[in-house]
Amino acid sequence: MTNKFEAGQIIDGKVTGIQPYGAFVALDEENQGLVHISEITHGYVKDINEHLTVGDEVKVKVMNVDEAKNKVSLSIRATEEAPKKPAKEKKAQPTFQQDNDTAGFNTLKDKLQEWIDQSAKK
């Protein structure tokens, strides 16, 4: 492999093969690189075949060139603008109203005298 590919470069390529872990893209007549499944598109990709087919023309960004192993790591995702995340809606905070009506609820002080009286009767 010659030094004609550099990290950051954007190149037009053609999908030549698809595997469960990624897609192989021909960069020219002699060289190809791999687009890992995580670099296909923004978001989760369960099946690459839902996004790419052999023969597709794609725009890829060179992420890494490993001359020693003769490998080029590519990304399609890096050439696309990230989708805008919808603004999170603020959840309405629950409001509590405190009633002065203590029906059904007695304070411990009120119950204590009642319990003393009950135990004295026994």
Identify the pLDDT of residue 1: 52
Residue 74 to residues 4, 51, 91, 95, Cα–Cα distance (Å): 14, 16, 40, 52
Identify the pLDDT of residue 118: 85
Measured CA to CA, the distance from residue 78 to residue 39 in angstroms comes to 7
Identify the pLDDT of residue 90: 65
Identify the pLDDT of residue 114: 83
| pTM score | 0.64
Which mean pLDDT values do the consecutive 10-residue runs of the chain (122 residues) have?
A: 79 94 92 93 91 94 89 91 73 63 67 84 72
Domains belonging to the chain, first-starting first, are 10-79 (2.40.50.140)
